[in-house]
Amino acid sequence: MWIVLGTLVAAVVLSAVLPAGDSDGVIYSDFQKAVAEGQVEKIVINNETGHIDGTYVSGDSFTTTGPADIREADLEVYREKVPEVEVDRTQPSFLATWLPLLLPITLLILFFWWMQRRAQGQMGGIMSIGRSRAKTYSTERPGTTFEDVAGYAGVKQEIREVVDFLKHPDKFGAIGARIPKGVLLVGPPGTGKTLIARAVAGEAGVPFLSVTGSDFMEMFVGVGASRVRDLFESARKLGRAIIFVDEIDSVGRKRGAGLGGGHDEREQTLNQMLAEMDGFEATEGIVMMAATNRPDILDPALLRPGRFDRQVVVPLPEIDDRRAILDVHVRGKKLGADIDLNVVARGTPGMSGADLANLVNEAALFAVRDGVDHIRAMDFESARDRVLMGQKRESTVLSEAEKERVAYHEAGHAVCAAVLPNTDPLHKVSIIPRGMALGVTMTLPAEDRYLWRHGYIVDELVKLLGGRMAENLVFGDTSSGAADDLSRATELTGKMVREWGMSDRIGPMAWTGQQGQVFLGDEIMGQRSFSDETAKIIDGEIERILREQEVRCRQLLTDHRNGLDLVARSLLEHETIDGAEVNRLLEHGKDRADAPAVEPSPTTVPDDATAD
């Protein structure tokens, strides 16, 4: 439409601007005077437009424009005075006649056609709202394989049967074996559940239909169920395929737990999914995989055999898995000679694959920030501190009295961690404010721990109480800096008494109560399963254990008072010291056992100060 309009405008403008020819234009009255004087040799008159082309007796040509439909009287004069007169009475062309009328009509037709196309597109979007939003990855099948999934050898071995079935279905059908229809990947966020599902599709060489649980839900009633039907129909058209539903807990939660009743849209979507999973046979070559980090809230009908037959746990990576994951994420990055990835893997317990990827990227950012062209060991150290403890709070300026109290607080934690036999090895102590803390004491386990022994737990309680007790021992009072320590110690002691059977008074009983998660109205009001008398006994046991460990902590810090002072003074001087330096200062403090302890200034900090 715009091209047509531009062409017409250009034609009108050019016709008005460009000259019609090389002839000279004259005024019509001058032309009549020249005719009367006999100076004109020849004229050609267009009787429709009044345009006149002529030639003088001298041989020069000219043009002029008279009135349209020239009068007969004027024509008679021209014939008398001009030797050669020619009148052109040609009819106007069809385009010249109808173009002024057709142009606006054409523009109106084009406008209504454009409006109709837009309306059809909107109606098509509404009519296709029930179609599945799954993304089919058929051209990227070789893109992800088990080689791209570092570690997790046990997980890969457990789901390799699915790959073998999709590759060689006849081998299983020959002996009547039935492959699991559904595989549920369960694990914490960031452990690579989606990557493993894509690797299964890549290994098997089949299309991979990926959709998230939230894609089924819409504001219109019945849309979720319609999309489920369309998803399975699309998979059947592909023959052998893998349907992957990420975050399935958004539509697979327990039915009947909400406040909306059976007509709830989410429940209808789940009902349709259950029916579709029963609707295809294992021999069809369709395998459904799903991922969630909340298996406890899934509907039991979804987990029964015949639907999700198998649950594969994808846990947080162990130390060997973390080492393999780090190898993947450092590809293409320049590493310094001082980096030992085994040390980095040991110092990152509890980190998922996504956390490790972020750690490597943060280390690279620290290297760029310092202007070096490779990643150093100190960059990994800074990145780990940034991830675990938060960014340095450069704007926080402590007074000398507050800084001294924070130093003794962290020194108390550090001394307990270094002296107690069952705690994790001390890694570093810092009084640089990070995140929400004014100081940090970091310990790193020598190996991954899956069971917590009683000796380890009580030593951890002593370490948690070390900061508060150091303040009380040195300054004679306490501050609000121990708030987080007390909260963690109370929570840990409560688990010892209520859940782990580590109290002689309670005995081998677990009093966990109703600890289920609240969702859609289920368990809104939690109820405990023990009496008030039992609750009183539990509270008494928690208090007893904490007070016993507080006495142990006071005695330990009293015995190592010289070492406590040396560690605190070193922190005030250097702000950050490592575990080896703390051990050296404690040994030096033993040699000075007979020397009087260094007395700090008897000052306190405001109540709003926050420490480790």
Per-residue pLDDT of 358-404, as tens digits, reads 888 889 988 998 888 888 888 888 888 787 777 777 666 778 888 88
Residues 438 and 339 grouped into a single domain: no
Closest-CA residue to 387 (of 451, 452, 442): 442
| Res. 596: pLDDT tops 70 | no
Query: Do the bridges between strand 40-46 and strand 241-246 make them parallel or antiparallel, or are there none, so unpaired?
Result: unpaired
pLDDT at 612: 43
Closest-CA residue to 470 (of 496, 436, 431, 435): 431
pLDDT at 548: 93
Burial of 410-439, coded b for 16+ CB within 10 Å and e otherwise, reads bbbbbbbbbbbeebbebbbbbbbbbeebbb
Which phi and psi angles does 51 have, rounded to 5°?
-80, 135
Two tokens, residue 462: 């002593």
Q: DSSP readout, 325-349?
A: HHHHHTTTS-B-TT--HHHHHHT-T
Catalytic site residues?
A: 410
pLDDT at 77: 79
pLDDT at 444: 79
CATH number, domain containing residue 74 = 3.30.720.210
Two tokens, residue 537: 């006994």
Rg (CA), the chain: 44
pLDDT at 136: 59
- More reliable by pLDDT, 473 or 233: 473
Residues 251 and 221 grouped into a single domain: yes
> What count of Cα atoms within 13 Å lies in the side-chain half-sphere of residue 210?
18
| Res. 546: pLDDT tops 90 | yes
What residues have CB less than 8 Å from 518, skipping those under 6 apart?
524
pLDDT at 331: 85
What residues have CB less than 8 Å from 478, skipping those under 6 apart?
468, 471, 472
Q: Give 143's pLDDT tier (boundaries 50, 70, 90).
A: low
Per the domain annotation, does 128 fall within a domain?
Answer: no
| Res. 556: pLDDT tops 90 | yes
Q: What is the mean pLDDT of the chain?
A: 77
When mean pLDDT is compared across 125-134, 302-311, 345-354, 465-474, the lowest value belongs to 125-134
In this prediction, residues 241-257 reach a mean pLDDT of 78
Q: Collapsing DSSP states into helix, strand and coil, what is residue 427?
A: strand
Residues 476 and 508 grouped into a single domain: yes
Contacts of the segment 170-177: beta carbons below 8 A, 24+ positions apart: 173/283
pLDDT at 28: 80
Residues 424 and 546 grouped into a single domain: yes
pLDDT tens, position by position, 61-108:
888 887 777 777 777 777 887 888 777 766 556 666 676 777 778 888
| Res. 142: pLDDT tops 60 | no
Which of 389, 414, 440 terminates a domain? The answer is 389
Per the domain annotation, does 362 fall within a domain?
Answer: yes
Two tokens, residue 587: 């040994």
CB 128: neighbour CB atoms within 10 A?
A: 9
pLDDT at 315: 84
> What distance in Å separates the CA atoms of residue 509 and residue 332, rounded to the nearest whole number?
54
Per the domain annotation, does 496 fall within a domain?
Answer: yes
Residues 149 and 250 grouped into a single domain: yes
Residues 164 and 269 grouped into a single domain: yes
| Res. 17: pLDDT tops 70 | no
Residues 371 and 482 grouped into a single domain: no
pLDDT tens, position by position, 449-491:
778 899 999 999 999 999 999 999 998 888 888 888 999 999 9
> What distance in Å separates the CA atoms of residue 144 and residue 35, rounded to the nearest whole number?
94
Q: DSSP readout, 478-542?
A: --GGGHHHHHHHHHHHHHHHHTS---TTT-S-------PPPBTTBT-S---SS-HHHHHHHHHHH
In this prediction, residues 507-530 reach a mean pLDDT of 57
Regarding pTM above 0.85, the answer is no
Per the domain annotation, does 121 fall within a domain?
Answer: no
CB 273: neighbour CB atoms within 10 A?
A: 29
pLDDT at 137: 54
Q: How far is CA 562 from the centre of its chain?
A: 50
Q: DSSP readout, 214-251?
A: GGG--SSTTHHHHHHHHHHHHHHHTSSEEEEEETGGGT
Per the domain annotation, does 456 fall within a domain?
Answer: yes
Q: What is the dihedral angle through the alpha carbons of 32, 36, 38, 43, rounded to the nearest 10 degrees?
A: 30
For residues 65 and 28, the answer to whether their CB atoms sit within 8 Å is yes
Which of 363, 389, 415 terminates a domain? The answer is 389
Sheet holding 576-578, edge to edge: 440-443, 426-430, 576-578
pLDDT at 593: 54
> What distance in Å separates the CA atoms of residue 71 and residue 225, rounded to the nearest whole number?
83
Two tokens, residue 433: 């404010």
Per the domain annotation, does 602 fall within a domain?
Answer: no
Number of domains in the chain: 4
Angle of CA points 288, 292, 295, to nearest 5°: 105
Residues 430 and 548 grouped into a single domain: yes
Which of 313, 329, 359 terminates a domain? The answer is 313
CATH number, domain containing residue 409 = 1.20.58.760
Closest-CA residue to 180 (of 192, 193, 166): 166
pLDDT at 566: 92
Residues 407 and 546 grouped into a single domain: yes
Residues 406 and 546 grouped into a single domain: yes
pLDDT at 412: 92
| Res. 545: pLDDT tops 90 | yes
Two tokens, residue 379: 């960059």
Two tokens, residue 347: 């110092």
Looking at residue 455, its amino acid is: G
Closest-CA residue to 68 (of 95, 87, 85): 87
Residues 152 and 277 grouped into a single domain: yes
Q: Give 521's pLDDT tier (boundaries 50, 70, 90).
A: very low
> What distance in Å separates the CA atoms of residue 52 and residue 139, rounded to the nearest whole number?
72
Domain of 509, in residue numbers: 400-514+528-591
Residues 433 and 557 grouped into a single domain: yes
CATH number, domain containing residue 164 = 3.40.50.300
Two tokens, residue 246: 């990420």
What single-letter DSSP state applies at residue 133? -
Q: Give 610's pLDDT tier (boundaries 50, 70, 90).
A: very low
CB 542: neighbour CB atoms within 10 A?
A: 21
In this prediction, residues 316-339 reach a mean pLDDT of 86
| Res. 495: pLDDT tops 70 | yes
For residues 388 and 449, the answer to whether their CB atoms sit within 8 Å is no
Q: Burial level of 121, CB count in 10 A (0-12/13-18/19+)?
A: exposed
Per the domain annotation, does 183 fall within a domain?
Answer: yes
In this prediction, residues 508-529 reach a mean pLDDT of 55
Helix axes 353-369, 377-389, angle to 10 degrees: 120
Per the domain annotation, does 140 fall within a domain?
Answer: yes
pLDDT at 76: 79
pLDDT at 416: 92
pLDDT at 470: 92
CATH number, domain containing residue 355 = 1.10.8.60
* Phi-psi domain of 192 (left: phi exceeds 0; alpha: psi -120 through 50; beta: other): left
pLDDT tens, position by position, 118-134:
665 544 444 444 455 55
